[in-house]
A and B are shown apart, each in its own frame.
Chain A
Amino acid sequence: MSNIAIKVENLSKAYQLGQIGTGTISRDLERWFARIRGKEDPFLRIGETNNQNTNSDIVWSLKDIDFEIEQGDAVGIIGRNGAGKSTLLKILSKITAPTTGKISGKGRIASLLEVGTGFHPELSGRENIFLNGAILGMRKKEIQRKLDEIVDFAGIERYLDTPVKRYSSGMYVRLAFAVAAHLESEILIIDEVLAVGDAEFQKKCLGKMGEVSKGEGRTVLFVSHNMGAVTELCRSGIVLENGLCNFTGTSQKAVDYYLKNQSQFLRSEYTMSNIVSNPKFTNIELQLGGSQPSHTLQIKFKVNKTLFSTAAFAVFGIKNSASVTIMEAIPSLDNYINFENKDKVYTCIVHLNSFIPDEYTVYAWLGASEAETYDWVDDKLGFEIIDSPTPKRTFPFSTRTGSQIANSYLIP
């Protein structure tokens, strides 16, 4: 393994679902008893993937992952929420042990799953630099040598001897990132910590990361939802799906693969199976068309045949990944929904504004008035926006600052 920085073999990690704590003694005894008889652990039935629909108590957050990372490579790890990205990072950072498998590598690892771990509010900026640096694995001498650089990067010279509880949140984050960015390690693992701080600082962070991977020749693992940042900063990419490592290749190909397959993750179709006599949606189909910043969402839906004669309305709402409703599509009243002697199909066209990259869910409402709801389909359908609404802008968008952005341009 001359040029390999990290080699992952057969890595798996199982999590126990549900409550841990009640009845664990009996369960522990059961497992222990199985082990001394040389049997397989009864709570780890091998073979299931991270499928959230099975009834088992165990979920495989990672399943038989194999990959190699070369020295000096910058690797982006992409995947949907729950694909196992964070678990992989946690295992690589030695925070939790794998259930099976092995990782070997060489070089010191520094992982940044969170900025400012171990900061103590009562201590001054200087004291926290030392404490945080030591927690991240730096020796005192090393921190001493880099102190000026860190302070300079964070831009907090004047506040160096003030307790960090008096810092603004921006200063706090800047200081924390500065310490982490100056770690001298051969391997750097970064979670989406960049989604903090102001835009200028985010750019500075991305710049620093680029410098680290390209300039200094260190190995970087970068986990992000931000496809732009991944293609820009990383040379290779790994796609995780349901705990399986489904694609490895160049970062551009990995992003393409991810985008091509994203439609199968968020359900774009809903079907009601049982037949009823009151008005319901029997089928809804979503189709995302167009491109940023003017996507179009086509919602094709079917209503059942009923004896109702009153006309009805449909309303569709769009929620972001934080389950906050961003907007509702309320079609104009030129056309009503009528229930007739046969199933009828309608299509609703929704023009989307500049949505930020995120996963969105769609709910559908059917009724005659505000007080009279016939059907309500929630959390069944969704779509994902991948591209940035502003071309070439790579800094991350966050739902904290809104799910849509206003189209804007600079006049020189």
Chain B
Amino acid sequence: MVKEEEQWTIEAKSSLFDLKLHEVWAYRDLLVLLVRRDFVSFYKQTILGPLWFFIQPLFTTIIFTFIFGNLAGISTDGLPKPLFYMAGITAWNYFADCLTKTSSVFKDNASIFGKVYFPRLIMPLSIVVSNLVRFGVQMVLFLILLAYYYFSGANFNITWAILLFPLILALMALLGLGLGMIISAMTTKYRDLSFLIGFGVQLLMYATTVIYPLSTAIEKYPKYSWLIEFNPMTSLIETFRYGFLGNGSFSWAYLGYTSVLTLIILLIGIITFNKVEKNFVDTV
């Protein structure tokens, strides 16, 4: 009558390494529907609809070009300034969105989580995938700008490293997801962290090579540049730029370092998330 695999137990303590990934797979339809919900509800009752996805990176690029490029005169390694900034912003935004949205996942979904069980991991995963849609739209904008500069003969070239794009995207998503889950798990108890995350992400952006190239940082602050180099996001953005614009510091060593660190953070993230998920209803 009832299949053997449908047996279950609920216990007070469960193994730390029971990641419940098979459950997530069983609920994959929910993931798709949640992403669809996010997308549809985002532009319902707006006039510009998905155009809003364009506006933010466009204006940020313009402002960065004026302030950091022209006013402060920070080097862009000889690349066209808007292109340089937009490459950084597009990649950074995806990571930052994944991180901030994931970090408040318990708080935002407390009412659903308190009433029905489904593998909680679905929620952060759906955030990462939803943001992918947004990233895709911004990427189109970036490619249009790229094509424009390409045909007007600007000085840049696309390199083989563009093939690493899927890997970079995956690493950004997983890093944002992992860090976000660690923070979300901690915010259920210590609300202070939710205040930190807002400006923490902004500070982190300045410690990443979004508005300046790594080469300039090493040249100007040889003593402290290790801070920037060991920031896992740096090598991702540098590789991204190297692939699309042919300029940037690319190194297998740093990319490898970022990959390993990302996987470690992700694992810690999933473990803490699963641990907190069981009881967060009582504390939030």
B11–A102 touching, CB < 8 Å: yes
Q: Is the beta-carbon distance between B116 and A117 smaller than 8 angstroms?
A: yes
Hey, which chain B residues are within 8 Å of A163, CB to CB?
A: 44
B contact set with A: CB distance below 8 Å = 1-2, 6-12, 14, 27, 29-30, 32-34, 36-37, 40-41, 44-45, 111-118, 189-191, 278-279, 281-283
Which A189-204 residues have C-beta < 8 A from chain B?
A: none
B-side contacts of A101, CB under 8 Å: 11-12
Q: Take A96-B278, A104-B8 as given contacts and tell me if A122 and B40 are in contact as well, using a CB distance cutoff of 8 Å.
A: yes
Q: Are A130 and B33 in contact (CB under 8 A)?
A: yes
What is the bound-complex CA distance between A186 and B1, given in angstroms? 10
Assembled-state Cα–Cα distance A114/B190 (Å): 28
Complex alpha-carbon distance, A91 and B278, angstroms: 10
Q: How far is the CB of A103 from chain B (nearest CB, A)?
A: 4
Contact B6 A108 (CB under 8 A): yes
- CA separation between A24 and B187, bound complex, in Å? 12
Min distance, Cβ B147 to any Cβ of chain A, angstroms: 35
Closest to A191 in B: B115
Query: Is A320 an interface residue, CB under 8 A from the partner?
Result: no
By the criterion CB–CB under 8 Å, are B112 and A98 in contact? no
A95 at the interface (CB under 8 A from B): yes
A134 at the binding interface (Cβ < 8 Å): yes
CB–CB A137/B118 < 8 A: yes
Task: Say yes or no: is A107 at the interface (Cβ < 8 Å to chain B).
Answer: yes
Give the docked Cα–Cα distance between A392 and B159 (Å): 80
Q: A134-B30, A140-B29 are in contact. Are A114 and B115 (CB under 8 A)?
A: yes
Residues of B within 8 A of A109 (CB): 8
Question: Which residues of chain A have C-beta atoms less than 8 A from B36's C-beta?
Answer: 127
Q: B41 touches which one: A92, A123, A130 (CB < 8 A)? A: A123
Interface set of A (CB-CB < 8 Å, partner B)? 15-16, 20-21, 24-25, 28, 71, 90-109, 111, 113-114, 117-118, 120, 122-123, 127, 130-131, 134-137, 139-140, 163, 186
In the complex, chain B residues whose CB is within 8 Å of the CB of A120: 37, 41
Q: Which residue of B lies closest to A142 (CB)?
A: B29
- Given A95-B113, A120-B41, check contact A20 B283 (CB 8 Å): yes
What are 24 of the A-B contact pairs (CB < 8 Å)?
Answer: A20-B189, A20-B283, A21-B189, A21-B190, A90-B281, A94-B117, A97-B14, A98-B12, A99-B12, A101-B11, A102-B9, A104-B10, A105-B8, A106-B2, A107-B2, A111-B116, A114-B116, A118-B116, A122-B45, A123-B40, A123-B41, A135-B116, A140-B32, A163-B44
Q: In the complex, are the beta carbons of B115 and A106 less than 8 A apart? A: no
Nearest Cβ in chain B — how far from A35, in angstroms?
11
In the assembled complex, how far is the CB of residue A238 from the closest CB belonging to chain B, in whole angstroms? 17
Complex: chain A residue closest to B118, CB-CB: A135
**Which residues from B are CB-within-8-Å of A131?**
30, 33-34, 37
Q: Measured between C-beta atoms, what is the minimum distance from B24 to chain A in Å? A: 13
Which residues of the partner chain A approach B279 to less than 8 Å between Cβ atoms? 96-97
Contacts of B282 in A (CB 8 A): 15-16, 96
Establish whether residues A102 and B7, one from each chain, have CB atoms under 8 Å apart when the complex forms: no
Once the chains are docked, how many angstroms separate the CA of A90 from the CA of B37? Answer: 26
A8 to chain B, nearest CB (A): 9
CA distance A201 to B250 in the complex (A): 66
* B40–A95 CB distance below 8 A: no
* Chain B residues whose C-beta falls within 8 Å of the C-beta of A28 in the assembled complex: 189
Known: A21-B190, A25-B190. 5 other contacts (CB 8 A): A16-B282, A102-B10, A105-B8, A113-B116, A122-B40
Known A24-B190, A95-B115, A134-B27: A186·B283 in contact at CB below 8 Å:
no
Contacts of B112 in A (CB 8 A): 117-118, 135
Q: How far is the CA of A140 from the CA of B27 in the complex (A)?
A: 10
- Determine whether the beta carbon of B34 is less than 8 Å from that of A122: no
